[in-house]
């Protein structure tokens, strides 16, 4: 024997609505949960079914004191359906008008664009101009490094890097002096350490950098 098929959500909604329509009365949720099984809707699903009907404005609810009452009349459902129908009808007419406007705009734009030898010639000329434009744009990109604004920005960046390098050089000299004053017995070990990390006898402050000098610029960029 095949198992009996359960009710779909839409079928449950119809069953619950029928309870309201038959009695045209007000109900508490717990009352609907008792009446639901009589219509084939298990009590555990009554709450969700009722809420879906409330969300679709097919069932009304209101709080009276500490209790929440639900109700629905056939006339209310009819009004709701008519309201939905009127909105859909209004949207349909609006979309039809918009479609007519777009068709009219399309026809206007198509005028003067009919296929012809002159049009093909004009399109070919436009393509040639676009190709030339892209070539010139790429060529300009090759000279971007010589842009005065780019050079000025580079000069400013070099100045910042130069100041930072000398500031850290000053910090290193200060730290070396502090180590010498506080650890005189470790002078040889400290000198060996300085040499290992690149602080040799020729370590000194950087002179002013000329941004046009490529070799000096490369040195500063390494410092950065």
Q: How is 127-163 classified by DSSP, letter by letter?
A: HHHHHHHHHHHHHHHHTGGG-HHHHHHHHHHHHHHHH
pLDDT at residue 4 in the model: 63
Q: Give yes or no for a contact between 32 and 68, defined as CB atoms under 8 angstroms apart.
A: no
Question: Does residue 28 fall inside a structural domain?
Answer: yes
pLDDT at residue 119 in the model: 78
Of 73, 95, 110, which residue sits at a domain end?
Answer: 73
Q: Give yes or no for a contact between 7 and 36, defined as CB atoms under 8 angstroms apart.
A: no
pLDDT at residue 145 in the model: 67
Question: Does residue 111 fall inside a structural domain?
Answer: no
Sign of the alpha-carbon torsion through 113, 116, 120, 122? negative
More confidently predicted of 91 and 200: 91
Number of domains in the chain: 2
Task: Give residue 111's pLDDT band: very low, low, confident or very high (50, 70, 90).
Answer: confident
**Predicted confidence (pLDDT) per residue in 41-50, tens digit:** 999 999 999 9
CATH of the domain at 40: 1.10.10.10
pTM score, two decimals? 0.37
Distances in whole angstroms, Cα of residue 92 to Cα of each of 78, 103, 164:
21, 16, 69
Question: Does residue 125 fall inside a structural domain?
Answer: no
Question: Does residue 57 fall inside a structural domain?
Answer: yes
**Predicted confidence (pLDDT) per residue in 13-24, tens digit:** 999 989 988 888
Q: What percent of the chain has pLDDT over 90?
A: 25
Question: Where do runs of H (alpha helix) occur along 61-73?
Answer: none
Of 49, 73, 97, which residue sits at a domain end?
Answer: 73
Domain that holds residue 199: 148-222
H or E, element range at 64: strand 60-64
Question: Does residue 52 fall inside a structural domain?
Answer: yes
Question: Does residue 130 fall inside a structural domain?
Answer: no
Question: Does residue 2 fall inside a structural domain?
Answer: no
More confidently predicted of 34 and 193: 34
More confidently predicted of 214 and 191: 191
- Contacts of 14 by beta carbon, 8 Å cutoff, 6+ apart: none
Task: Give residue 115's pLDDT band: very low, low, confident or very high (50, 70, 90).
Answer: confident
Within a 10 A sphere around the Cβ of 71, how many other Cβ atoms?
A: 15
- Can you tell me the mean pLDDT for 132-141? 87
Of 57, 73, 89, which residue sits at a domain end?
Answer: 73
Query: What's the rounded Cα separation, in Å, for the pair 177 and 119?
Result: 82
Question: Does residue 55 fall inside a structural domain?
Answer: yes
């Amino acid at each position: 024997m095949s198992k009996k098929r359960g009710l779909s959500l839409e079928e449950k909604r119809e069953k619950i609505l029928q309870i309201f329509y038959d009695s045209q009365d007000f109900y508490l949720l717990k009352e609907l949960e008792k009446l639901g099984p009589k219509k084939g809707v298990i009590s555990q699903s009554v709450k969700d079914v009722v809420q879906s009907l409330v969300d679709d404005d097919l069932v009304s609810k209101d709080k009276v004191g500490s209790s929440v009452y639900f109700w629905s009349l056939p006339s209310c459902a009819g009004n709701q359906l008519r309201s939905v129908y009127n909105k859909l009808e209004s949207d349909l007419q609006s979309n039809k008008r918009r479609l007519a406007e777009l068709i009219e705009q399309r026809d206007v734009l198509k005028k003067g664009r009919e296929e012809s030898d002159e049009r093909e010639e004009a399109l070919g000329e436009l393509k040639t101009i676009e190709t030339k434009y892209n070539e010139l744009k790429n060529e300009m990109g090759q000279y971007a490094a010589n842009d005065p604004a780019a050079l000025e920005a580079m000069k400013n960046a070099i100045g910042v890097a130069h100041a930072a390098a000398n500031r850290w050089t000053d910090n290193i000299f200060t730290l070396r002096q502090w180590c010498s004053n506080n650890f005189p017995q470790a002078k040889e070990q400290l000198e060996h350490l300085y040499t290992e990390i690149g602080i040799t006898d020729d370590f000194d402050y950087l002179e002013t950098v000329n941004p046009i000098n490529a070799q000096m610029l490369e040195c500063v960029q390494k410092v950065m």
